[in-house]
Amino acid sequence: MSEGVKLVCADCGQANRVPAAKLASGPKCGVCGARLIDGSVKALDAKTLSKLTKTDDLPLLVDFWAPWCGPCRMMAPEFAKAAKALAPHARLAKIDTQENPEAAQRYGIRGIPALILFHKGREVARLAGARPAADIEAFVRSKVKVPA
């Protein structure tokens, strides 16, 4: 398949196609130049979240959080570690539910932090509460096929 892997840019919302062989070398968005997948946690808003969940070919794990939530802040470095461990096979992103209440509402988020795993345009699974990096990584690996 020469079509490549579809990834929406978390920064500008542009859909990009990346050759599978180039996923590991920090591919950049053709429009804004932001890195599409580099093991970092991307910050989304409601609009980019919706685009990524619909379009991305790679598994996408989203952390619904808020600045006032202590457990969310405690989990952030663990989530970042998991993002590094799972790159370039899955993308990890976060959305601030205080700034994007419509996203929290849309997905029926009752408590945060809440993790939702998306793949191939649909929700695959959820994980509630703050977790260590190893648990987050194991959760993704147990739900979708991710090369070791």
Q: Please list the active-site residues.
A: 69, 72
Any idea which residue has 């989530």 for tokens?
79
31 lies in the site for Zn ion, by CB under 5 A: yes
C-beta closer to Zn ion: residue 14 or 107 = 14
Half-sphere exposure of 40 (CA within 13 A, CB side): 11
Backbone phi, psi, residue 46, to 5°: -60, -35
Residues 32-71 binding Zn ion (CB under 5 A) are: 32, 34
Segment contacting Zn ion (CB under 5 A): 31-39, 66-74, 104-112, 113-121? 31-39
CB of 92 to Zn ion, least distance (A): 18
11 lies in the site for Zn ion, by CB under 5 A: yes
Alpha-helical regions (H) of the chain: 46-55, 70-86, 101-106, 133-143
CB of 27 to Zn ion, least distance (A): 11
C-beta closer to Zn ion: residue 16 or 100 = 16
Could you tell me what percentage of the chain is helix, strand and coil, using 3-state DSSP and rounding each to the nearest 5?
35, 25, 40
CB of 32 to Zn ion, least distance (A): 3
Decide if 47 contacts 114 (C-beta within 8 A): no
List residues near Zn ion by CB under 5 A: 9, 11-12, 14, 29, 31-32, 34
